[in-house]
Structure 1
Amino acid sequence: MSWKGILAAITIAFFGLIAVMIWNTARMPSTRIDAELPDEEIEKRVSSIDGTEVATHLAEAVRFRTISSDTQLPNKAESFPAFHDWLESTYPDAHAVMERERVNELSLLYRWPGRSDCKPIGFISHLDVVPVEEESIEDWTHPPFAGAVADGYVWGRGSVDTKSNLVMTMEAVERLADDGFTPSCDVYLLFGHDEETGGSEGAGAMSRILTEQGIHFDWVLDESGGGSIHTDGSSKWAQITLSQRGYVTFELTATGVGGHSAVPLRPNAILGLSRALMRLSNSSMPGGLEGLALEMVKARVQRRSYLERLLVANTWITKPVVEWIIESMPGGAAILRTTHSPTVIEGGKKDNVLPKTARALVNFRVHPRDDIEFVRRWVRETIDDDSIKVSVYQERAFEAPPATDSSAPQVTRFKEVIGAVYGPIDPLIPGFGLAASDARHYAPIADALLKFEPVVIREGDALNPHDTNERLPIDSLARGVVFYQRLIERQE
């Protein structure tokens, strides 16, 4: 073939490739919810709910200092039982139709019996909140446990994470019960007391009880994990989180020869541990853009530039570029692979004494494609030093639960409720969760794990869960209550 023929073939191939990429971009599936504006029935129901009253209830809930922390234990004798009593007195109709069981004294397991024996549904929340750092209190606009209602927000620790969805769920049940409604299937409210420290005595214990009773959920809904509604004033987009990561911390221990620093001896425990940490720091676990993470990225770029859509629509050829872009974004690596960070290091007590041991803790957030044993083997192979002992720290580890399929019927019904209550959503993103929550405890007894909170976040707004000035917009509350009502009504 002549050079002209070769050039012609290359030109045809190039423009053919461009045509295929443009075609693939045009054919990218939309995740838009093409709902009409919320119907008249929904709007009447929203209008009938006094958002200020719901805000007052949320503010009252915030005032209970139900703090859960490894270092700052909750005041079990007062805060949690008092919060239990407040729930009962504030929502009498809900308590009249539901059975309530205290689990390990502090968690609450509610069951609302349904009319038939279809699979139940579960609403997960937690009573506990993270502590407030003493040095940050002066930075709060309103005291963190004052439960202030001001400037269009409910302020305080737990207003977002996650007494908001707890209160909205109770408000929904209270109103449905007052109307004489009975659900088709059993409805469970699962309120743990130790989610912020792992949930083993709260959600974990409730899951074990339900397992013994033979309960298996159609779906359970937990706090957002990134799942909520966002608006720029003219349009809305939302995320429903369908996965979460596992968790394990490895303790690395190096041993050496102790003695006086004037006579440095080898092996040196600190140097050995430092080498191990540097090898981990300079290495990344295997990964890549696939499955639910790829679905999430494809949905997200529907609101981005044409070039970004073109790249993501053609990962069969652009995948390395797309992965490089994601990796360069804050938190992007977590979408692609299991991530790790050293969090604690100890070694040596005096400046002129060689320590015999040095230790470090390295925390791993486990991608759903991996398991803890695979991570452990990778750590050993990466360190490549048999003198370093590697062990699971405090046995506080859990695998990532299976991700929920974005095409599952539970997700389809969930989308329908979002559209009915909030109108058009463009796009609805199937989310890849970066953190873990109590939902993982129910994975063995639920067909689908969903994470979403019916809160509308305006562009530029910051709700600051776990941070200074945590606050929830009041105008989200009434529609959020209706959202939970609709889920209960449309559970089949």
Structure 2
Amino acid sequence: MDWREFTKLHALLEAYYPVIYKLFEVIPVGRAGLLFHYDSGHPEKTPLVLSAHQDVVEPGALELWKKEPFSGAYEDGIIWGRGTTDCKHLFLAEMEAVEAAFSDGFRPSYDLYIALGYSEEIYTISGEDGGRLLKEALAARGVHQIVLFDEGGSVTTDDKGHRIAHVGLGDKSQIVYELYKDGTGGHSSVPGLHTDMGALARCIVALEDHPRPYKLTDLSRGQLKGMAKLETGDKQRIFSDPDRYWDEVCELARQDARLDALLHTTICVTMAQGAQQPNVIPAHVSATISARVLPGETGDEILAYIQQHLTGGIQVRRVSGIDPVNEDTPDSEEFRLVEQTIHDVYGDDVIVMPELMLFATDSRYYKDIARHIFLFSGYEQDDTWGPMHGVNERIPAAALPGSRNFFRRLMENYNA
């Protein structure tokens, strides 16, 4: 990690958002976190926290990019670069909305915070976590019962022409495990009948052959019922009553990776390591698991499940991650305010869909001080966007005002 890049970014923020830096207290947190606080003088009112992260994933194969991934190249109405959709677009929309509103004289009757983390995507060697430190900074100031917005869904249009606002009311937590075995190693000319790498491979296959069972949470059940209104034929019937047609739901999930991920904790091996050259039997073999844990389950529960399928002396340890946060509910005044704001900005034809987000966010760190957590980025998204975390990540410039307008209107509606 080159921490100098955060220093340069923070200098740009101070130059671009002078009103925020004048009217807000700016609190450095950890190595590169920023917490902005506007003190309304009304601590009895529920604070609003706009959250995002500054860091991005690595660019991958540079030769496959059409534009240099850190250039921010602008061409034909498109902005190219790593992080344009995850989630520079969000934190800049939040900053733009606040700067514009306060420049026009807006002063909320509630305390307003902007919380910018720096280790949502990457893992620091020290284990330092910006999201956790930001939450601790708020708690140390006596801030509690917040309403938090963080990265999440957007407004999309399906193949039937429905415009849908995907509002996350929960997310699956990423917990990382390592499978490993230590041996003596040796020369690849005398491997014997079995190797530690072979034992590791058999365990990986066993985990893939024994996925966690499907189950419905309150949020996924409601999400399927919401999806039924957008479907026709058998899918409409099945999703309208997923408990009654559970076997058919499961059969559909086996054919659809996104539906599969919605219904259970996934256990995915993403990295493996052995020897550094082909003629060496490694003394240490390992594989890394990214488990996406369903709300209502725990990391220890998944650890025990993995252990059930290990043979040949392979062991497992939990590396990182915290248990998922309990799902929020759409039955709240705050959710209705979000719904109203989406309609104000994008029109009454937009269908607001409460959802379980399949990826993890920093929002999980705030569960102890949050009254409600909403995972919604405020954008309208189409197929001109490049892939998040993928090669040629990009965003159309025309999409940018939408999120800014959403957060500005949100602040105004929250003030009413």
DSSP 3-state at the match of 1:280: helix
Aligned twin of 2:18:
92
Q: Report 1:471-490 matches (<5 A).
A: 471-490=394-413
Q: Which of residues 150, 172, 183 in structure 1 aligns to 2:75?
A: 150
Say if 1:148 and 1:213 are closer, same or farther in 2 by CA, change over 3 A.
Answer: same
Question: Equivalent residues in 2 for 1:2-17 (5 A)?
Answer: none
Q: Provide the rounded CA distance (Å) in 2 between the counterparts of 1:364 and 1:348.
A: 25
Corresponding residue for residue 390 of structure 1: 316
1:34-433 map, 5 Å: 73-74=1-2, 76-77=3-4, 79-117=5-43, 118-136=45-63, 139-140=65-66, 142-197=67-122, 200-224=128-152, 227-231=153-157, 235-254=162-181, 268-348=195-275, 355-383=282-310, 385=311, 387-393=313-319, 396-433=320-357
DSSP 3-state at the match of 1:455: strand
For the residues of structure 2 that align with 1:174 and 1:442, how far apart are their CA atoms? Answer: 25
In structure 1, how many angstroms separate the alpha carbons of the residues matched to 2:133 and 2:143? 14
Instruction: Work out the CA distance in 1 between the residues paired with 2:102 and 2:378.
Output: 21
Superposition TM-score, scaled by structure 2 size: 0.90
Question: Which amino acid counterpart does residue 14 of structure 2 have in structure 1?
Answer: E
Q: For the structure 1 residues 214 and 267, does the alpha-carbon distance in structure 2 shift closer, same or farther, using more than 3 Å as the test? A: same
**Partner amino acid for 2:208?**
S
Q: AA paired with 1:330? A: A
Give yes or no for contact 1:257–1:266 (8 Å, CA) kept in 2: no
The alpha carbon displacement at 1:120 in A equals 0.5
Higher mean C-alpha deviation, range 205-214 or range 307-316: 307-316
Q: Counterpart amino acid of 1:334? A: A
CA 1:368–1:147 in structure 2 vs 1: closer, same or farther (change >3 Å)? same
The C-alpha deviation readout for 1:453-492, integer Å capped at 9, x for no partner, is: 121123x433322223322222233332221111112225
The structure-2 alpha-carbon separation of the partners of 1:267 and 1:429, relative to structure 1 and needing over 3 Å to count, comes to: same
| In 1: Cα distance, 2:29 partner to 2:316 partner | 35
**Does the residue aligned with 1:454 lie in a helix, a strand or coil?**
strand
Larger helix share, 1 or 2:
1
- The 3-state SS of whatever aligns with 1:238 is strand
Note the aligned Cα RMSD (angstroms). 2.5
Gaps of 5+ in 1: 1-72
Contact kept, 8 Å, 1:256 with 1:356, in 2: the verdict is yes
Percent of aligned pairs with the same amino acid: 27
Shift of 1:259: 5.7
- Whole-Å Cα distance in 1 between the matches of residues 412 and 37 of structure 2? 16
**Equivalent position amino acid for 2:140 in 1:** E
Q: Deviations over 1:315-344 (max 9, x none)?
A: 343111112102311233211111112223
Partner Cα distance (2:84, 2:278) in 1: 46
CA 1:427–1:263: 2 relative to 1, 3 Å? same
Displacement of 1:417:
0.9
Alpha-carbon contact 1:119-1:218 (below 8 Å) kept: yes
After superposition, the C-alpha distances for 1:406-456 in whole angstroms (9 at most, x for unaligned) are 223321211111111111244221111111122122122111111111211
Please state how far the C-alpha of 1:215 moved relative to its aligned partner. 0.8
AA at the equivalent of 1:291: D
Q: Deviations over 1:5-29 (max 9, x none)?
A: xxxxxxxxxxxxxxxxxxxxxxxxx
Counterparts in 2 of 1:408 and 1:386: CA distance versus 1, 3 Å: farther
Q: 1:466 to 1:353 in 2, by over 3 A?
A: closer
Match of 1:453 in 2: 377
Q: For residue 256 of structure 1, report the CA deviation from its aligned partner.
A: 5.5
d(CA) in 1 for partners of 2:403 and 2:224? 27
The residue type paired with residue 167 of structure 2 is I
The match for 1:470 is 393
Q: Deviations for 1:335-391, whole angstroms, at most 9, x for unmatched residues?
A: 1111112223334567666555433222211111210111111112222x4833221
Residues 464 and 471, structure 1, Cα contact 8 Å, conserved in 2:
yes
Cα distance, 1:464–1:264 mapped onto 2, change above 3 Å: closer
Q: Deviations over 1:81-114 (max 9, x none)?
A: 2221211121112222111011124211100112
CA contact (8 A) 1:122 1:217 kept: no
| Closer, same or farther: CA 265–473 of 1 in aligned 2, 3 Å | closer
| Contact 2:54-2:116 at 8 Å conserved across structures | yes
Alignment of 1:442 with 2:370, yes or no, is no
- Is contact 1:341-1:362 (8 Å) kept? yes
Q: Supply the distance in 2 between the matched residues of 1:134 and 1:268 (Cα, whole angstroms).
A: 32
CA contact (8 A) 1:289 1:323 kept: no
Query: CA 1:257–1:268 in structure 2 vs 1: closer, same or farther (change >3 Å)?
Result: farther
- Displacement of 1:302 in angstroms is 1.8
Counterpart amino acid of residue 314 in structure 2? I
The structure with more strand, counted as a fraction of residues: 2
Cα pair distance change 1:389/1:304, threshold 3 Å: same
Instruction: Tell me whether 311-320 or 270-279 shows the greater mean CA deviation.
Output: 270-279
Return 409-418 or 233-242, whichever deviates more: 233-242
Contact 1:341–1:364 under 8 Å retained in 2? yes
Contact in 1 for aligned 2:225/2:242 (Cα 8 Å): no
Q: Tell me which amino acid in the other structure corresponds to 1:116.
A: H
Structure 2 unaligned residues grouped into runs of 5+: none
Q: 1:102 to 1:282 in 2, by over 3 A?
A: same
- Residue 294 and residue 258 in structure 1: after superposition, are their counterparts in 2 closer, same or farther (change >3 A)? same
